[in-house]
Structure 1
Amino acid sequence: MASRPQSFGQTEINWDKLDKTKFYVVGAGLFTGLTVVLYPVSVIKTRLQVASKDSIERNAFSIARGILKTDGIPGLYRGFGTVITGAVPARIIFLTALETTKVAAFKVVEPLKLSEPSEAAIANGLAGMTASLFAQAVFVPIDLVSQKLMVQGYSGYATYNGGLDVARKILKSEGIRGFYRGFGLSVMTYSPSSAVWWASYGSSQRFLWSKILGNETEQNKERVPSLMTIVLVQATGGIFAGAVASSITTPLDTIKTRLQVMGHEKRETARKVVKRLIAEDGWKGFYRGLGPRFFSMSAWGTSMILAYEYLKRSCAKGEYV
């Protein structure tokens, strides 16, 4: 892209410059490690979102204390085995769709002669949304099973003997379609969330390069940024993207979570879930779990993007090595 500052171009590695086999193998290990570290936050967020009106555990810290008191550290990893089983194929699908769509999207927006941040927002946003749509086919059943395990025995929710028991009971009561309960809301939640996250990340990163660090000046165009500078800009972009995405999509995530953890005998429509949330807590009920979700999306987003960019550098071919 002619308008892209040379120094920024040297920080970005495109899909055609990657060793794909190494990219997938190393990436599986990196993202599994990140999931291990951040999974407890997802458990706490889910518990908050399904807490009843009369629950004494009304904040993240009380939820965490309650889990540790009753189940210890293993309680923070309920459903983890199920998530890891589906995370690798879902992540492979996501990253492949993300990178290939991003390349095509940049070619589409280039003739529009927009600013760097605007081009990045559109191209990255389209890529993030498309990647999420493809990944949902694998992720939704995994998400549904893991969330049932996260809340089992809590506030009257059913107890299970592991992920296979959850799957067997869903299949028996609802058939295959039971694994896709809340699929529409998942698409409505994660696809816009992914689009907003990647759009915010791409545009903020270019804004930092061009406006704050002055990478468009003649003095800096020939200078390759240090690794520390690259990491700092990418981390800042990840935090900003997580903040924006979590603020916009938490209400849909709360509704989706409540729909997915219900037992077959308690099935409600999204409209009934919305009415109950408003009756219990007013409009602020839609933002249950916002704190953990904000932390999770910011921490996960920042960790993920640093690992992702490191992965691309380590798997680059030719002049990028």
Structure 2
Amino acid sequence: MGSTEINWDRLDKTKFYVVGAGLFTGVTVALYPISVVKTRLQVASKETMERSALSVVKGLLRTDGIPGLYKGFGTVITGAIPARIIFLTALETTKAASFKMIEPFKLSETAQAAIANGFAGMTSSLMSQAVFVPIDVISQKLMVQGYSGHAQYSGGLDVARKVLRSDGIRGLYRGFGLSVMTYSPSTAVWWASYGSSQRLLWRFLGDGDKNEKDTPSLPKIIFVQAAGGIIAGATASCITTPLDTIKTRLQVMGHEQRSSVKQVVKDLIKEDGWKGVYRGLGPRFFSMSAWGTSMILAYEYLKRLCAKDDETAGLQTGIISID
């Protein structure tokens, strides 16, 4: 880790949170429809005609127009802001602490990046789940309402009221264990892959051993970060899609359809064979790669934008963190 990196202690925290909320909201607007399509594919019954991403999109546009691609969006945005504040704070503080803890072991730079980023990603995901899971439950019920036999709702509050009435607070945390098992490893794999792949890419491009005065150009930095995001998204989606499919099915079930993980797996295998647990892999692969790459570029830009005044000279040369 060199002095050119923008770490947690070098950020204007107020600006970081305020600007970050706006920046990530913009990215969410752009990519949200992918999540809707992925969720609908994962919960589709055998009788459902719309079994491909394209047919789901066509069906939504035919029945609801463009707003159909944004079912549950208001709920997600409302809950995403506090969840992201928790996530980003935990991510940056844990990552800095992790690098210090493993420094005495004299590991390679790539191994250090994988371990520190992976542990920070897992920890931050665990801490943000308390806010994220109820939002996930509500938004996913809105995403699939009226589809494949699922109930209709008048909005996020209506979902919350009905879930609380039928299942109590536990209903809003349905799939919490699976969410932790899905998102924590997924986030750990994503950040570990991102951190280590960047190091490998820099080495491949011949920038790994240059001294700090030879700062890479901004286009090259953006290319490495984007490539790292795609690699990380591909790795994480392939590993964790089965858990995500099971979790989604459990979360959108009504009170009268309550089921177990074992039964959900049996149903998926009965409908589509073992490939059933990978239902929605295409959209999820694209989603994680697109979300990850867009978010990481926005995130690194945000850090560059929110560096304290004494970092201005460094920023003008295009210096940003590659962790």
* TM norm structure 1: 0.95
Tell me the equivalent position of 2:123: 130
Q: Could you report, residue by residue, the CA deviation over 1:31-75 in whole angstroms, capped at 9, with x for unpaired residues?
A: 001111111000000000001112211110011011101111010
Tell me the equivalent position of 2:252: 261
Tell me the equivalent position of 1:38: 31
How far is 1:319 from its partner? 4.0
Tell me the equivalent position of 1:58: 51
Distance change (3 Å), C-alpha of 1:216 and 1:159:
closer
Give the residue type in structure 2 aligned to 1:249. Answer: T
- Please give the secondary structure, in 1, of the residue aligned with 2:14: helix
Is contact 1:49–1:257 with CA below 8 Å preserved after alignment?
Answer: yes
Tell me the equivalent position of 2:16: 23
161, 174, 179: which one aligns with 1:181: 174
Residue identity over aligned pairs, in percent, reads: 76
103, 122, 139: which one aligns with 1:110: 103
Is contact 2:113–2:195 with CA below 8 Å preserved after alignment?
Answer: yes
Is contact 2:199–2:208 with CA below 8 Å preserved after alignment?
Answer: no
Tell me the equivalent position of 1:82: 75
How far is 1:217 from its partner? 3.9
Is contact 1:17–1:318 with CA below 8 Å preserved after alignment?
Answer: no
2:205 is the counterpart of 1:213: yes
Q: Could you report, residue by residue, the CA deviation over 1:228-251 in whole angstroms, capped at 9, with x for unpaired residues?
A: 111111111001000000100100
Is contact 1:215–1:221 with CA below 8 Å preserved after alignment?
Answer: no
Give the residue type in structure 2 aligned to 1:47. Answer: R
Tell me the equivalent position of 1:154: 147
- Which portions of structure 1, spanning 4 or more consecutive aligned residues, are displaced by more than 3 angstroms? none
2:308 is the counterpart of 1:300: no
Tell me the equivalent position of 2:242: 251
Q: Could you report, residue by residue, the CA deviation over 1:65-119 in whole angstroms, capped at 9, with x for unpaired residues?
A: 1110111101001100100110000000000000000011001111111111110
How far is 1:318 from its partner? 4.2
How far is 1:215 from its partner? 2.1
Aligned pairs, number: 312
**Rounded Cα–Cα distance in structure 2 between residues aligned with 1:83 and 1:216:** 39
* TM norm structure 2: 0.95
Structure 1: stretches of 5+ with no match in the other structure = none
274, 281, 298: which one aligns with 1:283: 274
Which shows bigger deviation, 119-128 or 109-118? 109-118
**Rounded Cα–Cα distance in structure 1 between residues aligned with 2:170 and 2:277:** 26
Give the residue type in structure 2 aligned to 1:163. Answer: G
How far is 1:221 from its partner? 4.9
Tell me the equivalent position of 2:321: none
- Please give the secondary structure, in 2, of the residue aligned with 1:170: helix
69, 88, 91: which one aligns with 1:98: 91
2:208 is the counterpart of 1:204: no
**Rounded Cα–Cα distance in structure 2 between residues aligned with 1:25 and 1:254:** 33
Distance change (3 Å), C-alpha of 1:217 and 1:103:
closer
Aligned CA RMSD, in angstroms, stands at 1.1
